[in-house]
C-alpha cells in the first residue's frame, strides 16, 4: 500500500515538470518558425519559454531561449540588446550547439555595429564547432556570413570563396532560403565590381525565392537590393519603386534598421536627381530609425546626406557642421575616407565670412577715412595680405594634419588585417599537419597493432616470441596515445587552464580504471581563473611532466593515494604530484630517463622542478612557473 501511494506522489510531482520542460522546447521551436513573419509574437513565446525552463531548472533550454531572443532582436536591428543576450548564452550555456549559435549571432551583431574584426573572430569560432559536429546547414550559414564580412572589408576574392562554399552546403540540403541569401550576397559583390546586369539577375532571382517562401524580411532586403542596382543603372523611377516597397515591408515587420536603409536610399536618389526639397523628410526619417536601431552604416549615411542636402541649399555653415559629424563618426568605426570635402567646405565658409567682413570694413573706410594717404592704404593692404596668408597657412596645416592622421589609421587597419590573415594561415597549417599525423601515422600505428594481434592469435608462437610481440604492441599503443596528445596541443594556438585540467582529469580517470586500488585526487586553488592561458608548447610540457610523475607512482611506488594539486601565490604557479608510496633514497638512486625527461621539459618552459622523496614516506614532485609565463 505504501508503494502504491509513493507511485501516485511521484506521478503528481514529476508529470508537471515533464510537461513544463517539453513546453519550453516546443515554444522555442515554434517561435523560431514564425519569427520572420511575426517577430513580436515570437518574442512573447521565447520569453515564456525561458521562464518555464528556468522554473524546472533546465538551464540549457533557458540559455537556448535567450539566444533565440537575440536572433530575433538582430533581425529587428537592435544589435546592442541582441549582443548582450548572446554573450550571456555563450558564457553560461554548456551545450556546444547553443554556444556555436550564440557565437554566430555575436558575429552578426558586431557586423551590424561596424566591428568587422570582432565579427570575423566570432564567426570562425562558431564554424569550428559546427564542423566538429558535421552540421551542414549551420556551416553553410556561417560561411555565408564570413563572406559578407570579407565583402565589407573589400576583400572580394575571399568573400566569393566563402559564399560559394556556403552555396554548395545549401544545395546539398535543398535549403531555398539559404540559396537565396547566397545569390543575394554574390550579387552585392558583382554590383561593387560594376557588373550591374549580373547583379540585377542575382538580386531578382533572390527576390523570387523570398516571395515563394513568403519571407517578408527577405523580400524587403531583396527589393532594396534590386532598387540599388536600378539606381546604379540610372533607372531612377524603377529604383524608387523598389526602395519604397522595401521601406513599407520593413516598417510593417518593425525592422528599424531596414527602414533606415531604405529611406537613406530614397533620399540619395532624390538629391542626385535635383529633387532636393523632397529628400529632407526621408533623411529625417532615416536618421531617426538608424539611431533607434544603432545601425552604424545608416547613421553614417544619414549624416552625409544631411551635408549634401544643406550644400545643395547653399547653407555651407550647416553643411560643414553635418559633414564634420559624418567624418568623426566614420573614423570611429574604422571606415577612413579622405577629408578633402571638410577642407573644401571649411575654405568656402571661411572665405564667405572674410569677404563679408572685408566688404563691411571697406564701406566704413570709404565713409570715415576718405582723406587717408596712399601710404596708409598701402600699410593696410599689407596687413590684409598678412592675415590672408596666415589664414591660408593655418588651413593648409590643418589639412595636412588630417591627411597624416588618416594615413596612420589606414596603416594600422592594414596591419591588423595582415595579422588576422597570418594567424589564419598558421592555424590552417597547424590543422593540416595534425590531420596528416592522425590520418597517416595514426592509421599506420593502428595497423601495426592489428597485425601483431593477428600474429598472436592466428599462430601458435613460442612464449618468448609472444611476449616480445605483446611488448611491441603495448609500446605502439602508448605511442598512439602520445600522438593524440600531440595532435590535441597542435590544434590549439593556446591552451587554457580549463583545457589542461580536463586533459589531466581524463588521464587520471583512465589510470583510476586501470588501478582500482589507488585513490586519485585532483585539487585546484579557487583563486586560479579558467581564463589562465598557456602556449601550446607550455601546456603540452606541463601535461607530459604530470603524466610521467603519475606513471612513476603507478609503476614503482606501491602507493594507495596519488594527489595532483594546482595552487598559486603572488609570484608563482605551483603544480604538485604527491603519493604515499615507498619512496626512495635520492642520494643512492641513479636518475632514469623518465626523471631526466621531466627536468628537461621543465627547463624548456623556464620552470623549476624539484623531487622530494624518502624511503617509506612517499614522493612529491613540484613544478613552479613564474606568473609572467602563463598569465596572458
Give dist(CA 27, CA 532) in Å, integer. Answer: 38
3-state secondary structure of 620: strand
Pairing of strands 533-535, 494-496: antiparallel
Query: Angle, to 10 degrees, between the axis of helix 216-232 and the axis of helix 196-213?
Result: 160
Which of these three, 463, 491, 519, is where a domain ends? 491
Residues 569 and 484 in one domain: no
Residue 519 belongs to what H/E stretch? strand 519-524
Domain-located, residue 387: yes
156's grid cell: 572580394
Residues 618 and 509 in one domain: yes
Domain-located, residue 483: yes
Low-confidence ranges of the chain (pLDDT < 70): 1-22, 332-376, 378, 420-447, 449-461, 467, 470, 473-475, 477-478, 480-493, 514, 530-531, 570, 590-591, 627-632
Q: What is the DSSP string of 61-127?
A: HHHHHHHHHHHHHHHTT-HHHHHHHHHHHHHH---HHHHHHHHHHHHHHHHHTT-HHHHHHHHHHHH
Phi/psi of residue 175, nearest 5 degrees:
-95, 100
| pLDDT number for residue 86 | 92
Give dist(CA 454, CA 456) in Å, integer. Answer: 6
Q: In sequence order, what are the residues at sequence separation of 6 or more whose Cβ sits closer than 8 angstroms to the Cβ of residue 555?
A: none
Residues 485 and 505 in one domain: no
Per residue in 343-383, pLDDT tens? 454 455 455 555 556 655 655 565 566 566 666 676 777 88
| pLDDT number for residue 481 | 64
Domain-located, residue 443: yes
3-state secondary structure of 578: strand
Phi/psi of residue 461, nearest 5 degrees:
-105, 150
Per DSSP, helices labelled H in 369-442 are: 374-436
Residues 505 and 520 in one domain: yes
DSSP structure class, residue 621: E
Residues 386 and 457 in one domain: yes
Residues 437 and 505 in one domain: no
Domain-located, residue 204: no
Domain-located, residue 243: no
Which of these three, 491, 526, 542, is where a domain ends? 491
Task: Give the CATH number for residue 510.
Answer: 3.30.565.10
Whole-prediction pTM value?
Answer: 0.38
Which of these three, 491, 525, 559, is where a domain ends? 491
Domain-located, residue 236: no
| pLDDT number for residue 435 | 56
Residues 511 and 479 in one domain: no
Biggest distance spanned by C-alpha atoms of the chain? 134
Domain-located, residue 31: no
Give dist(CA 228, CA 236) in Å, integer. Answer: 10
% the chain with pLDDT above 90: 12
The sign one gets for the Cα dihedral 285, 286, 290, 293 is positive
Cβ-contact 79, 107 below 8 angstroms: no
| pLDDT number for residue 398 | 83
216's grid cell: 517578408
Residues 402 and 515 in one domain: no
Residues 426 and 511 in one domain: no
Residues 587 and 509 in one domain: yes
Task: Write the CA distances from 589 to 433, 599, 611, 612, integer angstroms.
Answer: 41, 16, 13, 13
Domain-located, residue 587: yes
| pLDDT number for residue 110 | 92
Pairing of strands 561-568, 519-524: parallel
Q: In sequence order, what are the residues at sequence separation of 6 or more whose Cβ sits closer than 8 angstroms to the Cβ of residue 439?
A: none
| 264: nearest Cα among 248, 246, 286 | 286
Sheet holding 561-568, edge to edge: 519-524, 561-568, 572-579, 619-626, 608-613
Give dist(CA 124, CA 106) in Å, integer. Answer: 11
Q: Which residue range forms the structural domain that includes residue 553? A: 495-630
Residue 158 belongs to what H/E stretch? helix 156-172
Give dist(CA 573, CA 631) in Å, integer. Answer: 10
3-state secondary structure of 610: strand
* Owner of C-alpha cell 570582432: 118
**Taking the CA of residue 275 as centre, how many other CA atoms within 13 Å lie in the half-sphere pointing to its CB?**
14
| pLDDT number for residue 345 | 45
Please give the tally of structural domains in the chain: 2
Residues 402 and 513 in one domain: no
Residues 461 and 514 in one domain: no
436's grid cell: 596528416
Cβ-contact 224, 298 below 8 angstroms: no
Give dist(CA 294, CA 545) in Å, integer. Answer: 52
Stated length of the chain: 632
Amino acid at each position: 500500500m505504501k508503494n502504491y501511494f509513493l507511485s501516485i506522489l511521484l506521478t503528481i510531482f514529476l508529470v508537471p515538470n515533464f510537461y513544463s520542460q517539453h513546453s519550453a522546447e516546443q515554444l522555442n521551436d515554434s517561435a523560431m518558425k514564425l519569427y520572420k513573419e511575426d517577430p513580436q509574437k515570437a518574442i512573447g513565446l521565447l520569453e515564456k519559454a525561458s521562464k518555464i525552463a528556468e522554473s524546472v531548472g533546465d538551464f540549457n533550454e533557458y540559455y537556448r531561449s535567450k539566444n533565440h531572443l537575440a536572433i530575433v532582436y538582430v533581425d529587428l536591428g537592435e544589435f546592442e540588446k541582441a549582443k548582450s543576450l548572446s554573450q550571456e548564452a555563450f558564457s553560461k550555456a554548456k551545450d556546444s550547439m547553443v554556444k556555436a549559435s550564440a557565437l554566430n549571432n555575436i558575429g552578426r551583431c558586431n557586423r551590424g555595429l561596424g566591428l568587422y574584426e570582432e565579427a570575423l573572430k566570432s564567426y570562425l569560432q562558431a564554424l569550428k564547432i559546427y564542423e566538429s559536429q558535421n552540421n551542414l546547414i549551420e556551416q553553410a550559414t556561417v560561411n555565408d556570413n564570413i563572406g559578407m564580412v570579407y565583402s565589407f572589408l573589400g576583400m572580394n576574392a575571399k568573400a566569393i570563396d566563402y559564399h560559394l562554399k556556403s552555396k554548395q552546403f545549401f544545395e546539398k540540403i535543398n535549403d531555398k532560403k539559404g540559396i537565396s541569401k547566397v545569390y543575394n550576397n554574390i550579387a552585392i559583390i558583382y554590383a561593387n565590381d560594376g557588373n550591374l546586369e549580373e547583379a540585377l539577375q542575382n538580386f531578382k532571382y533572390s527576390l523570387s525565392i523570398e516571395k515563394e517562401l513568403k519571407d517578408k524580411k527577405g523580400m524587403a532586403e531583396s527589393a532594396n537590393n534590386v532598387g540599388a542596382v536600378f539606381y546604379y543603372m540610372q533607372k531612377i523611377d524603377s529604383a524608387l519603386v523598389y526602395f519604397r516597397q522595401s521601406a513599407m515591408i520593413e516598417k510593417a515587420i518593425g525592422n528599424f534598421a531596414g527602414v533606415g536603409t531604405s529611406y537613406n536610399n530614397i533620399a540619395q536618389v532624390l538629391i542626385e536627381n535635383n529633387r532636393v526639397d523632397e529628400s529632407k523628410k526621408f533623411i529625417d526619417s532615416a536618421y531617426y530609425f538608424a539611431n533607434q536601431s544603432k545601425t552604424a552604416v545608416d547613421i553614417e549615411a544619414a549624416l552625409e546626406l544631411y551635408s549634401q542636402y544643406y550644400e545643395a541649399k547653399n547653407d555651407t555653415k550647416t553643411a560643414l557642421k553635418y559633414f564634420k559629424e559624418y567624418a568623426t563618426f566614420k573614423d570611429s568605426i574604422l571606415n577612413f575616407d579622405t577629408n578633402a570635402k571638410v577642407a573644401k567646405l571649411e575654405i568656402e565658409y571661411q572665405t564667405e565670412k572674410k569677404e563679408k567682413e572685408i566688404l563691411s570694413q571697406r564701406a566704413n573706410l570709404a565713409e570715415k577715412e576718405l582723406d587717408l594717404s596712399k601710404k596708409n592704404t598701402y600699410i593696410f593692404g599689407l596687413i590684409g595680405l598678412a592675415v590672408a596668408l596666415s589664414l591660408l597657412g593655418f588651413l593648409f596645416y590643418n589639412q595636412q594634419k588630417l591627411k597624416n592622421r588618416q594615413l596612420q589609421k589606414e596603416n594600422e587597419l592594414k596591419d591588423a588585417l595582415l595579422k588576422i590573415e597570418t594567424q589564419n594561415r598558421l592555424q590552417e597549417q597547424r590543422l593540416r599537419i595534425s590531420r596528416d599525423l592522425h590520418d597517416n601515422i595514426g592509421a599506420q600505428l593502428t595497423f601495426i597493432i592489428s597485425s601483431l594481434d593477428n600474429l598472436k592469435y592466428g599462430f601458435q608462437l613460442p612464449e618468448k616470441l609472444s611476449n616480445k610481440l605483446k611488448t611491441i604492441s603495448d609500446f605502439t599503443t602508448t605511442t598512439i596515445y602520445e600522438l593524440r596528445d600531440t595532435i590535441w596541443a597542435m590544434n590549439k594556438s593556446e591552451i587554457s587552464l580549463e583545457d589542461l585540467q580536463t586533459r589531466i582529469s581524463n588521464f587520471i580517470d583512465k589510470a583510476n580504471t586501470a588501478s582500482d586500488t589507488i585513490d586519485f585526487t585532483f585539487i585546484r586553488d579557487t583563486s586560479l581563473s579558467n581564463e589562465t592561458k598557456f602556449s601550446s608548447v607550455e601546456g603540452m610540457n606541463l601535461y607530459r611532466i604530470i603524466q610521467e610523475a603519475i606513471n612513476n607512482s603507478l609503476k614503482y611506488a606501491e602507493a594507495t593515494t596519488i594527489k595532483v594539486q594546482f595552487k598559486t601565490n603572488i609570484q608563482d604557479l605551483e603544480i604538485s604530484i604527491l603519493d604515499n608510496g615507498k619512496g626512495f633514497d635520492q642520494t643512492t638512486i641513479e636518475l632514469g630517463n623518465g626523471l631526466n625527461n621531466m627536468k628537461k621539459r621543465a627547463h624548456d618552459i623556464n620552470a623549476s622542478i624539484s623531487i622530494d622523496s624518502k624511503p617509506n614516506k612517499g614522493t612529491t614532485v613540484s613544478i613552479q612557473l613564474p606568473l609572467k609565463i602563463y598569465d596572458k
